[in-house]
Structures are given as structure tokens and as C-alpha cells.
Amino acid sequence: MNNFIIVDHPLIKKDLTIIRDVNTSTEIFRITVERISSILCVEVSKNFPLTEKEIETPLEKTIGFELSRQVVLIPILRAGLGMVNGFLELIPNAKVGHIGLQRNEETLEPIEYYFKTPQQLENSEVILLDPMLATGGSAVEAINYIKKRGVKNLYFVCIVAAPVGVERIQKIHPDVKIFAAVLDRQLNDKGYILPGLGDAGDRTFGTL
């Protein structure tokens, strides 16, 4: 699959085991999602452009670097919120927007209820966050909204992806890079990923 990157890392595999486990508490689930998100952040940002910056060490002047573009994190509500802190740990000056898309449980298609992002997205590195890429409906809808703002540098980051969701994004938005911790087998008849980890929003916020 073009533009689909699985971040294959021993620490992610260890942490995936924790969040898949039905016996994992809300607290541990939330902390573990943040840890996985930080590792994903390293991979997503690997090719971000840099600008040279002259600084002074305690001994002499030298050349360092800073990110050339503003980074904007946009979690898809509400499960995407669980990934934000993991990214902010590494990019603390990132701005954060929000997209609210609620799934129609009969059609499995997304319904928008909230959209708020920083201004001037067109010159930013924009990272959409959602732990689960299932049917791809919400992801595609979110990408549609973001592209209307003139965004050129756009990434979709999830923890668990299903083949149908990846294929849907790549068919409609082949220019968007998708990063995932793992590609799972399939969806069940209710649109949940198998083997998956259940409802990521409920498990993050304890609303089971």
C-alpha cells in the first residue's frame, strides 16, 4: 500500500498487547496510548524540514536547528484526544485543533458536529489523530475538511488500522501519508476492528 507506514517497534508491540487486553484499566490504557503516540510522533516527524539557527553554548557560538513549519495536531473527537499528549510531549509548541465526527451506527458513516482549527493551516505540518482507522469514513471526511483549508502537508496517524479503512483513504486521498502501529485483520458486522481493542474512546475515558 503506497503511503501507508506501519511503525514496527518492539516498544509499540509490547504496549499494543497492554491496550488490547480487556483487563487493562482506564488509567493504564490512557497512559499506554500516550506512550505509543510518542513513538508514532518520532516516525511521522522524521522528515520535517529544519531551519538553521545560531545559538550560543556556554563555550562558543554554534549552529542548531528548529522546525521550519508550525505543527498542528487535530484529534478526531473524542478518541483522538487520547493521542494528543503523546505528541505534545515531543512537540510542546504544536497547536491543537479539533474535529467532531459522530458515527451513524446504522450506516457507519460520519456526521459532523464540531470543527475548530488554528488559522493559516496551509503552511503547517498538519497531523490528524484517531486511534482507530476502521471503515475510513471519519478519516476521509476529516481530510476533506482539512484540505479545504489549503493544507498541503497532511498526515493521518492511528494506532490500529483495518485494511478497508486504509484502502478507502488511499483511493480518495492518495497523497496523504498514513502511519499506524499495526494493521489488523478485518471489521466485524458492526464496523469494529478485529482483533482490535474495543472502543478506544470508551476505554480512554472510562465510559464503558
**Residues with catalytic function:** 103, 107, 199, 202
Is the bond into 78 cis (omega within 30 degrees of 0)? yes
Asked if 68 and 48 count as a contact pair (C-beta separation under 8 A), the reply is: yes
- Report helix, strand or coil for 33: helix
d(CA 19, CA 203): 9
Q: Among positive and negative, which fits the CA dihedral 120, 125, 131, 136?
A: positive
Q: Among positive and negative, which fits the CA dihedral 114, 118, 122, 125?
A: negative
d(CA 39, CA 90): 9
DSSP string, 157-185: E-SEE-HHHHHHHHHH-TTSEEEESEE-S
d(CA 201, CA 204): 5
Is the bond into 131 cis (omega within 30 degrees of 0)? no
d(CA 58, CA 55): 10
